[in-house]
Amino acid sequence: MNLDRITDLAFQESPEAQYLLGINKLLNESEQYEGIYWLSKAAKSGHKVANYTLGYFYYQGKYENNYSKAIYYLKRASNSNYPQADYLLGIANYFGHGCPVDLIRSKELLETALQSCTLEQSEIIISTLLIQNIITESVDKKLENIIIENIHTGGNSTALRKEYNVNRIQRNQKLVSKIKKLYDNTCQICGVKIDLGNSQFYSEVHHIRPLGSPHNGPDVLENMIVVCPGHHAMFDLGAISINLTSKSVLHINVDNPINGKKISILHRIEKRYIDYHNDFIFGKRNLEAK
């Protein structure tokens, strides 16, 4: 369909045509005003992507930095189930962009967005990070500039990758939820189940051969173990490993009380991932990687 035909249809009140025309104009800097006009018309008719696009556009501040307008359109997109809108609203609620800071709402929105499995990798890192910060009550304002930069560049921020340990990216949220459920959020190493109140519990999932460079481990159940944050850190930093045959913990300091302790294994863990951990991580603390 050519642009003339789309323009005709837009004047005939077709939301899809208004959206397409709006996007087309938005791409040309001198026509942004018109682009916003047509997108707003489509958005008003309930066009989900038009609502999200306007929300994202105002959040980015490329045309006009206006957080309250961003929130208005993102809420409309979120109400029609658009996970990327939940993601941006989650960030807005975390930092108080265009709305009061609301960490409970922020966590809900970020979790909803994560469950959709449609987020980009950088969005998954940000969501996981903010949820972890909310849970550990260490809300970090310093993140704001990095995350804003990431929104402005559409997710190409290298600062984010440098700043955070990509080993903790939980790419496959469905598998993560599944294994946490299997162990009922109980650390396989120490048996602790962190109680958050309101019948909510918290656990983390460690990838035995870590995800991302340089380890490039796979995102599969056979490479996962459910842990508490403390034992997660001990795996990451190479302080502990496990013996699959005797189903017990190995601590790098053999005198540590946890060394030799029996652990819970209810799913199949592949030995080659433990071997990798033992060869490259266990006892080989590399602080640079943190």
**Interface residue list for Zn ion (CB under 5 A):** 187, 189-190, 192, 228, 231
Beta strands (DSSP E) in the chain are 194-197, 200-202, 204-207, 224-227, 240-243, 248-251
135, two tokens = 């849970």
Q: To the nearest whole angstrom, how small is the minimum distance from the Cβ of residue 133 to Zn ion? A: 20
How far is Cα 200 from Cα 179, in angstroms, rounded to an integer? 16
Rg (Cα) of the chain, in Å, rounded? 23
How far is Cα 264 from Cα 271, in angstroms, rounded to an integer? 16
How far is Cα 248 from Cα 213, in angstroms, rounded to an integer? 28
Q: To the nearest whole angstrom, how small is the minimum distance from the Cβ of residue 187 to Zn ion? A: 3
Whichever of 126 and 228 has its CB closer to Zn ion, that residue is 228
Q: How many helices (H) and strands (E) does the chain have?
A: 13, 6
Beta bridge partners of 202: 194
How far is Cα 5 from Cα 140, in angstroms, rounded to an integer? 50
Whichever of 51 and 170 has its CB closer to Zn ion, that residue is 170
Whichever of 151 and 208 has its CB closer to Zn ion, that residue is 208
Q: To the nearest whole angstrom, how small is the minimum distance from the Cβ of residue 200 to Zn ion? A: 18
Apex 238 CA angle, 175 and 256, nearest 5: 110
Whichever of 11 and 201 has its CB closer to Zn ion, that residue is 201
Q: To the nearest whole angstrom, how small is the minimum distance from the Cβ of residue 287 to Zn ion? A: 22
Q: To the nearest whole angstrom, how small is the minimum distance from the Cβ of residue 161 to Zn ion? A: 28
Whichever of 131 and 189 has its CB closer to Zn ion, that residue is 189
Whichever of 47 and 232 has its CB closer to Zn ion, that residue is 232
Q: To the nearest whole angstrom, how small is the minimum distance from the Cβ of residue 189 to Zn ion? A: 4
Whichever of 124 and 249 has its CB closer to Zn ion, that residue is 249
Q: To the nearest whole angstrom, how small is the minimum distance from the Cβ of residue 227 to Zn ion? A: 6
Burial of 250 (0-12, 13-18, 19+ CB in 10 A): buried
151, two tokens = 């929104």
